[in-house]
Structure 1
Amino acid sequence: MTLTTDTPYALSAPPASLSEPLEGSLKVDIALVGAGFSGAIAALMLARRGVSVALIEAAEVGHGGSGRNHGQCIPVFGYLDEKTLPPEGFVLLRDSGRKVFKTIEELGIACEPVQKGWLNAAHDAAGLERARAAHAKYAGLGKAGAFLGPDEVEALSGVRGYLGGWVHRDGGHLNPLAYVRGLAGAAQAAGAALHVRTPLTAISRQGGRWLLKTPRGDISARAVGLTVNAYGDAAIPPRLRRSLVPMRSYAIASAPLKPDQRRAVLPGGVNFSDTRRDPMFFRVDESGRIITGGLVELRRGRLGGPTVAQAGRRLARLYPELEGLGFTHHWSGMVGISARQRPAIFEINEGLWALAGYSGRGVPTTMALGRALAATLVDRAEGARLWPHDAPGRIPAAALIGFGVQSLRGPLNKLRDRV
């Protein structure tokens, strides 16, 4: 079966709202660079406040990580900590998964949303202990019910042999390309100016305002928010690019499952992940495709043949019905890891702010951080009540670190699973 390097999301996503490249000069209160989840959410929040805002995108809406991720909303974060986050920010992040699906409903975004939870299944005794610890944290926050026994995990997943597990109630999945297109369209409808195929070519401070140059126009703005995450090019200030460890993630999608296969795989409609150090995580989309992936390694994720062969073997061990399953799509995208391994909002220069570092949790984190950035761009004190304003990180040899981690992490984790 031939693999395409496109995502399958455009097969069912509604078309993006009409937008054209910027021509001429534009003067606004706030300019945003990067029309992914966070840029679109920030633009929507600002427009609703009556702030004049322009959102520019170098390619098309969803061209970067927002339209290329696995489509999972997993609101589980190592940095969800009342000791390090302001109270309002803690609540914002805690409820970010629920807010994703409420926003989809509120805006009427046709993005195949399914919110039946994220299942974390324990594969051995050590994994059971880790799962119980995570469950205790999120049950204490009202995000999980009772810990599940083996039979309950089997009923949700269709897989025998797991020792137990738990479900985060706010988890779910969606078509990410359709979702980001819907968010950008909503921002436009609220009054934001959206310009696609409008790359930033230069940015400078002039007369107390920021001037953003593009190929056929320019934007004058009081404040600027950079929401490109790991997709920044040479026109993006180095302080943002050097604050992230860039890594490449891959995803694959199967051919649509046959009816008997679909009944067997994840009958509870949840997203699935187990407690292996090299986890098996996947979901089933509306068309019946299994979507899974991970970080690109030297072979897995980089080469299509070995990637789908290994995924097929792992899935068939869980579901014998999937023996011989074919795969149709194999694609990749960039992930940004911040210095503190939590999303960072920081001021690069007076009025020039950046938001980056979602660390593989972009769907729920951007719902919280997009709002926090919008507030920051209007009033830094208001923004600080929603999220800490970190100093820009400085990570030496960030690209080399990213390559090393993503190349070695998978093989080392597979070894740890065998010990």
Structure 2
Amino acid sequence: MLNDERSHGLWEKTAPPAPATRKLDGNISVDVAVIGAGFTGLSAALHLAETGTSVAVLDAVEIGYGGSGRNVGLVNAGMWVMPNDLPQVLGQVHGERLLELLGNAPQSVFNLVDKHKIACELERKGTLHCAVGKSGIEQLKQRTEQWLARGASVRLLSAEETAEKVGSTVYAGALLDNRAGTIQPLAYVRGLATAAIAAGVAVYTGTPVTSTTRSGDRWIVNTPAGTVSAEWVVVATNAYTTSPWPELRAELLHLPYFNFATPPLPEEVRNTVLPERQGGWDTKEILSSFRMDQRGRLVFGSVGALRGTGMAVHKAWAARSIRKLFPQIKDITFEAGWYGQIGMTNDNLPRFHTLAPKIISFSGYNGRGIAPGTVFGRVLAEHIVGKVSDADLPLPVTKPKEEGLRTLREGYYEVGAQLAHFVGNRV
């Protein structure tokens, strides 16, 4: 996008075209204005339109420009936080409610893909959280036990079972989550946009929001060439938030994450690397992720930004790591490399905010945007139409709180990832 091959990489090359959109030019009136054409915003718009609510979606750049079009494509259940820790952080009611919502979130994604016939390379084979060493397997034992106690379809695999499913012998075990899967994320978000437009949603791209003003009982959303009058405003911009809600950006730490994609692997190699097509990631602090696309490309990623010296450092590290993890891949080259920003919160949990009367937002997906973004979009829609009250929300209603030393810490993450990848191998 924007002629930048490092923004969306492989996904831009292989996704179906985005539906036709245009810039907002003039003044319109709808029930709900949605800011951000990513998973959350488009899911909210689609679910609202299906209730007969009129909706306009505004995006400063393009459909899926932010994290929705750049991520790895793992459709995960739950968050990074251990299941038993959620009620301790959020309270028993919200904690268990969020666990149930997010535990079932991948199935909600699959249902939307089926219902709207979205061509997004969907694989429903689960995901593999792979253990590095004794500490990794102990962590996964706890996570498995806690999910099993809630009836989840998960299983702790032995080292031998993990080797069969990954195609590598380096891991001590893995948590197989049968609820989860993989998709081509840019294709999925473009499919959501196509479905929303078909349901009556107006989608405007290249249309940044400059300010909002109150006019009677409605909001006026101002853009460079027009306005949207709406009763409700949904802010769904997450890590790519700019004005007029700087407080959302201020509470998130940006964590850069990159991916490299190989050309399609030879068939004999493809049959040995993730042969069942699960996506995976490991338990290291600076984690790595890996998955296959539909044509047999290995997509391999980790923390870091592909800019400045980062491009050479992370690319060399990725090649070394793949060579160690998958020695059956003899010639390692990359046909695409790209990166984006993950919006991290101080407790690794998302936020539901009321920014002003009838201006609401979800943000802070902490690297788990696909399934949570999809179901939170639905929750926003249900809240607006009165189906879900404040008391029934999966998160408490809060105000944004600025994260301290944000700029310094973000720089530390980017430089630290380079240093770790300059000197280190994968496992």
Which residue is equivalent to 1:253? 261
The correspondence of residues 127-166 of structure 1 with structure 2, limited to 5 A, is: 127-166=136-175
Q: Which amino acid letter does the alignment assign opposite residue 356 of structure 1?
A: S
The correspondence of residues 17-28 of structure 1 with structure 2, limited to 5 A, is: 17-28=19-30
Post-superposition shift, 1:90? Answer: 3.3
Structure 1 pair 352–59 and aligned structure 2 pair: CA distance change class (3 A):
same
Q: Which amino acid letter does the alignment assign opposite residue 183 of structure 2?
A: L
Post-superposition shift, 1:327? Answer: 0.8
The TM-score, its normalising length taken from structure 2, stands at 0.90
Q: Choose 351-360 or 409-418, whichever is displaced more.
A: 409-418
Q: Choose 375-384 or 203-212, whichever is displaced more.
A: 375-384
**Helix, strand or coil at the partner of 2:328:** helix
Question: Are 1:329 and 2:336 counterparts?
Answer: yes
Q: Which amino acid letter does the alignment assign opposite residue 256 of structure 2?
A: R
Which residue is equivalent to 1:308? 315
Post-superposition shift, 1:411? Answer: 5.2
Post-superposition shift, 1:357? Answer: 0.6
Which residue is equivalent to 1:107? 116
Q: Which amino acid letter does the alignment assign opposite residue 29 of structure 2?
A: K
Alpha-carbon separation, structure 1, partners of 2:13 and 2:138: 41
Alpha-carbon separation, structure 1, partners of 2:309 and 2:381: 37
Question: Are 1:232 and 2:241 counterparts?
Answer: yes
Which residue is equivalent to 1:69? 71
Q: Choose 81-90 or 337-346, whichever is displaced more.
A: 81-90
Alpha-carbon separation, structure 2, partners of 1:380 and 1:101: 23
Q: Which amino acid letter does the alignment assign opposite residue 320 of structure 2?
A: R
Which residue is equivalent to 2:324? 317
Segments of structure 2 that go 5 or more residues without pairing to the other structure are none
Q: Percent identity?
A: 32
The TM-score, its normalising length taken from structure 1, stands at 0.91
Q: Where in structure 1 do 4 or more consecutive aligned residues deviate above 4 Å? A: 299-302, 409-419
Which residue is equivalent to 1:344? 351
Structure 1 pair 346–394 and aligned structure 2 pair: CA distance change class (3 A):
same
Question: Are 1:394 and 2:402 counterparts?
Answer: yes
Alpha-carbon separation, structure 2, partners of 1:185 and 1:311: 35
Q: Choose 390-399 or 253-262, whichever is displaced more.
A: 390-399
Q: Which amino acid letter does the alignment assign opposite residue 32 of structure 2?
A: I
Alpha-carbon separation, structure 1, partners of 2:191 and 2:309: 31
Post-superposition shift, 1:283? Answer: 0.3
Q: Choose 407-416 or 37-46, whichever is displaced more.
A: 407-416
Question: Are 1:176 and 2:185 counterparts?
Answer: yes
Q: Which of 294, 308, 311 is matched with 2:302 structurally?
A: 294
Alpha-carbon separation, structure 2, partners of 1:418 and 1:289: 19
**Helix, strand or coil at the partner of 2:94:** coil
Post-superposition shift, 1:285? Answer: 0.5
Post-superposition shift, 1:25? Answer: 1.0
**Quick check: 1:245–1:402 contact (8 Å CA) kept in 2?**
yes
Alpha-carbon separation, structure 2, partners of 1:87 and 1:274: 26
Post-superposition shift, 1:104? Answer: 0.9
Structure 1 pair 211–266 and aligned structure 2 pair: CA distance change class (3 A):
same
Question: Are 1:43 and 2:72 counterparts?
Answer: no
Structure 1 pair 241–21 and aligned structure 2 pair: CA distance change class (3 A):
same
Q: Say how many residue pairs are matched.
A: 415
Q: Which of 94, 101, 124 is matched with 1:92 structurally?
A: 101
Post-superposition shift, 1:410? Answer: 7.1
Alpha-carbon separation, structure 2, partners of 1:375 and 1:145: 30
Question: Are 1:30 and 2:37 counterparts?
Answer: no
Alpha-carbon separation, structure 2, partners of 1:417 and 1:9: 26
**Quick check: 1:373–1:383 contact (8 Å CA) kept in 2?**
no
Q: Choose 140-149 or 364-373, whichever is displaced more.
A: 140-149
Alpha-carbon separation, structure 1, partners of 2:322 and 2:149: 33
**Quick check: 2:43–2:375 contact (8 Å CA) kept in 1?**
no
**Helix, strand or coil at the partner of 1:283:** strand
Q: Choose 147-156 or 181-190, whichever is displaced more.
A: 147-156
**Helix, strand or coil at the partner of 1:317:** helix
Structure 1 pair 110–346 and aligned structure 2 pair: CA distance change class (3 A):
same
**Quick check: 1:111–1:175 contact (8 Å CA) kept in 2?**
yes
**Quick check: 1:132–1:165 contact (8 Å CA) kept in 2?**
no
Q: Choose 237-246 or 74-83, whichever is displaced more.
A: 74-83
Q: Choose 179-188 or 5-14, whichever is displaced more.
A: 5-14
**Helix, strand or coil at the partner of 1:348:** strand
Alpha-carbon separation, structure 2, partners of 1:301 and 1:97: 36
Question: Are 1:197 and 2:206 counterparts?
Answer: yes
Which residue is equivalent to 2:18? 16
**Helix, strand or coil at the partner of 2:301:** strand
Q: Which amino acid letter does the alignment assign opposite residue 385 of structure 2?
A: V
Q: Choose 286-295 or 371-380, whichever is displaced more.
A: 371-380
Post-superposition shift, 1:295? Answer: 2.1
**Helix, strand or coil at the partner of 1:116:** coil
**Quick check: 2:269–2:328 contact (8 Å CA) kept in 1?**
yes
Q: Which amino acid letter does the alignment assign opposite residue 114 of structure 2?
A: E
Post-superposition shift, 1:209? Answer: 1.4
Structure 1 pair 260–305 and aligned structure 2 pair: CA distance change class (3 A):
farther
Post-superposition shift, 1:112? Answer: 0.4
Post-superposition shift, 1:144? Answer: 3.3
**Helix, strand or coil at the partner of 1:8:** helix
**Quick check: 1:122–1:274 contact (8 Å CA) kept in 2?**
yes
Post-superposition shift, 1:181? Answer: 0.5
**Quick check: 1:249–1:301 contact (8 Å CA) kept in 2?**
no
Structure 1 pair 60–192 and aligned structure 2 pair: CA distance change class (3 A):
same
Post-superposition shift, 1:183? Answer: 0.5
Structure 1 pair 47–74 and aligned structure 2 pair: CA distance change class (3 A):
same
Structure 1 pair 75–407 and aligned structure 2 pair: CA distance change class (3 A):
farther
